[in-house]
């Protein structure tokens, strides 16, 4: 199957996106910010639609809108963690704007718009071009590297923000920076697995890793590893079974991993608390 | 009545235009029922900080509808089955306390994406429903029949009756779980029970607003109401009033404008919340007071405050 170029592109982009999702996701779950990630993923969808309406490059639109909202959420929240009511209301509103843009798109140009929306929502990793997949891989690798660089201070400020503050860690700035990282990952993986499904790549491998080990280093590595396994397996499954969409296969595998970890973890040691 | 509806300064004629078509009357009736249901159930949801769980239940409408279309069942049935199943899958795990909170959000997130992935799979297996795809996610007030309205009414009455039965113990368990458990309130069972009620409310709402825009009615009115008052009864009344304003304005304006009703309802919901927050902010004399009232209000009301 690697004889096909589109498969190689998908694997290149997919691997790095899974690495980024797994490592960022581990922190997202630890910090209890999945809802923010979820909201950002919907924002990414609106960004894609907006890019189509204003005829800018889709990737540019995605990144601009998602990063802006991520930064805005960080600024509004108290400990750079937005309140769940505010997230809920803001993202409903942004989706409403997305709906408006879809309507504008449908009435202005005509033709092929439903496809744009569906692709943005559910991704089309097998449709990535060679250039797009290299760009995706580079950005995802940069995000992963950023997580590794801020790993220790971010971990300390997540687990004990007062101690971190006392030791001179810029807790607020880190929290805000982290939300921006989440936004970058979200915008990045929207193209691959789609705005509605990327939450699974953020939550399932990370949730499984949290249930399997309390050690942060092993947990982060495990989370990234499991995400890559789900990505590779899902891509292969979807290649083998044409009627199975790639995103569904990837998410299905990730969820299966989480379910196994949940069952095994419950029998073994108690789930971590920190 | 012929031609396109046109807005004038004469309110009476506007309203007459609004109810000139049966579909619009049905939509208004359905919107009213849904607004009341969502505002009341949502009040508890916001108080329990379960917005993420609520959102997850909301998107379950998508696999529900896609699965029902694939199996040839009525769409509404699929909505209720999928939402109920998701509520049970999340079970007591979405407890609003901090106990093991992190893995719980991971469970909710995973349940949500599994549902969506399944929905996408159903959708790709059955190409016919693709046409109604955006309606599924963003809803339509315009396809509501008289039958729909009756079913919605029955569902809303049942859900609200169930909520009324557990209203007091649920409030107690929400505000102070430990004391409630100590005085014999089955908090764990209430968690699951409330999720089931929430799933029914969400399934009903999403038939009108679509899976993605449920929050316009489920979060905004209660959140605005709770910003104004922390007392349960006035809060619930305010919440319902806000919900009705959002739905009626949204439907009315959408009727006279070329843009979709989902956009208008979410815009009004957001606007209302912002106006209320700003109003409270100004009325109570600045940031500090607004924060203490909102954050600390419940602590004062709860039995624990003295200890």
Domain locations in chain A?
5-195
DSSP B5: -
Q: Which residue has the higher pLDDT, B241 or B297?
A: B241
Average pLDDT, chain B: 79
Which is nearest to A41 in space by CA: A71, A15, A65, A17?
A65
Residue that the structure tokens 């687990």 belong to: A159
Q: What is the pLDDT of residue B210?
A: 76
Helices (H) and strands (E) in chain A, counts: 12, 0
pLDDT value of position B47: 87
The stretch B119-126 carries a mean pLDDT of: 79
Check pLDDT > 70 for residue A215.
yes
pLDDT value of position B298: 42
**Arithmetic mean of pLDDT over chain A:** 82
Nearest residue of chain A to residue B50 (CA atoms): A84
Average confidence (pLDDT) over B4-27: 74
Instruction: Examine residue B64 and state whether it is found in any structural domain, yes or no.
Output: yes
Question: Is pLDDT above 50 for B54?
Answer: yes
CA-nearest of A157, A237, A244, A251 to A202 is A251
Q: Which of B51, B124, B265 sits opposite A84 (nearest CB)?
A: B51
Residue B285: how many other CB atoms lie within 10 Å: 9
pLDDT at A70: 83
Enclosing H/E stretch for B226? helix B220-228
Nearest CA in chain B to A91: B215
Residue with tokens 């760009």: A135
Residue in B114, B133, B263 closest to A99 by CB: B263
Is the model more confident about B143 or about B120? B120
Q: Note the pLDDT of residue B96.
A: 47
Name which of A254, A245, A240, A255 is nearest A192 in CA terms: A245
Domain with B287 in it: 20-306
Measured CA to CA in angstroms, residue A7 lies from A23, A128, A230, B67 at distances of 24, 9, 16, 29
Report residue A31's pLDDT band, with 50, 70 and 90 as the boundaries.
Answer: confident
Cβ-based contacts of B66 with chain A (< 8 Å): none
**Number of separate domains in chain B:** 1
A29 closest CA partner among A192, A162, A207, A160: A207
**pLDDT of B302 strictly over 50:** no
Of A194, A65, A12, nearest to B121 by C-alpha is A194
**Rounded Cα gap, residues A38 and A178, in angstroms:** 15
Question: Is A248 part of the contact surface with chain B (CB cutoff 8 Å)?
Answer: yes
B72 inside domain: yes
In a mutagenesis test of the A interface, which of B59, B102, B108, B125 is the best target, namely the one with the most A β-carbons within 10 Å? B102
Give the pLDDT band of residue B241 (cuts 50, 70, 90): very high
In sequence order, what are the residues at sequence separation of 6 or more whose Cβ sits closer than 8 angstroms to the Cβ of residue B148?
B26, B30, B76, B207
Percent of chain A scored above 90 by pLDDT? 13
Q: What is the pLDDT of residues A151-165, one digit of tens each?
A: 888 888 888 888 888
Q: What is the rounded end-to-end Cα distance, in angstroms, of chain B? A: 67
The beta strands (E) that lie in chain A are given as none
> Which residues does A210 contact at the CB level (< 8 Å), separation at least 6?
A26, A29, A30, A219, A223, A271, A272, B102, B103, B106
Give the pLDDT score at B3.
Answer: 47
CATH code of residue B64: 1.10.3470.10
Question: CA of B134, closest CA in chain A: separation in Å?
Answer: 8
**Does B86 reach chain A within 8 Å, measured CB to CB?**
no
Q: Is the pLDDT of residue B253 over 90?
A: no
pLDDT of residue B6: 65
CATH architecture of structural domain A5-195: Orthogonal Bundle (1.10)
Check if the beta carbon of residue B93 is closer than 8 Å to that of residue B114. no
In terms of Cα–Cα distance, which of B146, B126, B265 is closest to B206?
B265
**pLDDT confidence bin for B186, thresholds 50/70/90:** confident
pLDDT bin (cut points 50, 70, 90) of residue B38 is very high
Q: How far is A6 from chain B (nearest CA, A)?
A: 20
A-B contacts at Cβ under 8 angstroms: 178
Say what the ipTM of the complex is.
0.76
Q: Is residue B44 part of a domain?
A: yes
């Amino acid at each position: 199957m690697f004889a096909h170029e589109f498969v190689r592109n998908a694997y290149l982009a997919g691997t790095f996106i899974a690495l980024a999702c797994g490592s960022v996701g581990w922190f997202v779950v630890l910090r209890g910010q999945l809802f923010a990630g979820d909201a950002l993923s919907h924002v990414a969808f609106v960004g894609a639609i907006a890019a189509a309406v204003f005829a800018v490059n889709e990737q540019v639109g995605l990144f601009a809108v998602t990063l802006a909202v991520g930064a805005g959420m960080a600024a509004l929240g108290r400990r750079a963690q937005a309140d769940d009511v505010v997230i809920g209301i803001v993202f409903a509103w942004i989706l409403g704007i997305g709906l408006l843009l879809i309507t504008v798109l449908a009435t202005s140009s005509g033709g092929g718009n439903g496809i744009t929306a569906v692709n943005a929502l559910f991704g089309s990793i097998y449709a990535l071009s060679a250039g797009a997949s290299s760009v995706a891989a580079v950005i995802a690798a940069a995000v992963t590297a950023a997580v590794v660089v801020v790993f220790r201070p971010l971990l300390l400020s997540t687990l004990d923000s007062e101690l971190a503050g006392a030791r001179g860690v810029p807790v607020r700035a880190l929290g805000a920076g982290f939300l921006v990282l989440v936004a970058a990952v979200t915008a990045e993986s929207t193209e691959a697995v789609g705005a509605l499904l990327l939450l699974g790549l953020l939550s399932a491998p990370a949730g499984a890793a949290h249930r399997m080990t309390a050690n942060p280093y092993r947990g982060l590595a495990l989370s990234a590893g499991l995400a890559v396994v789900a990505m590779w397996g899902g891509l292969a499954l979807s290649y083998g079974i044409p009627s199975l969409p790639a995103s569904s296969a990837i998410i299905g595998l990730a969820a299966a991993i989480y379910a196994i970890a949940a069952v095994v973890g419950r029998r073994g040691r108690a789930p971590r608390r920190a | 009545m012929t031609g396109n509806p046109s807005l004038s300064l004469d309110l009476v004629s506007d309203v007459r235009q609004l109810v000139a078509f049966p579909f619009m009357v049905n939509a208004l009736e359905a919107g009213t029922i849904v607004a009341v249901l969502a505002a009341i159930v949502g009040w508890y949801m916001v108080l329990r900080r379960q917005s993420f769980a609520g959102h997850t239940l909301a998107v379950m409408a998508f696999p529900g509808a896609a699965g029902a279309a694939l199996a040839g069942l009525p769409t509404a049935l699929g909505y209720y089955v999928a939402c109920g199943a998701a509520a049970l899958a999340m079970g007591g795990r979405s407890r609003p306390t901090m106990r093991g909170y992190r893995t719980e959000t991971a469970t909710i997130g995973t349940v949500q994406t599994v549902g969506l992935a399944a929905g996408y799979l159903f959708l790709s297996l059955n190409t016919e429903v693709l046409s109604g795809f955006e309606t599924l996610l963003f809803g339509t007030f315009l396809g509501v029949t008289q039958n729909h309205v009756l079913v919605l009414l029955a569902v809303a009455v049942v859900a609200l009756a169930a909520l009324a039965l557990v209203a007091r113990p649920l409030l107690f368990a929400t505000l102070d779980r430990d004391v409630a458990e100590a005085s014999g309130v089955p908090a764990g069972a209430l968690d699951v029970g409330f999720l089931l009620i929430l799933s029914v409310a969400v399934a009903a709402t999403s038939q009108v607003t679509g899976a993605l825009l449920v929050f316009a009615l489920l979060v905004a009115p209660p959140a605005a109401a709770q910003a104004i008052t922390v007392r349960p009864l006035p809060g619930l009344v305010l919440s319902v009033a806000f919900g009705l304003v959002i739905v009626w304005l949204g439907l009315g304006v959408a009727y006279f404008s070329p843009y979709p009703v989902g956009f208008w309802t979410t815009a009004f919901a957001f606007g209302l919340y912002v106006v209320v927050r700003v109003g409270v902010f100004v009325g109570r004399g600045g940031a500090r007071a607004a924060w203490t009232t909102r954050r600390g209000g419940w602590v004062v009301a709860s039995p624990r405050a003295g200890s």
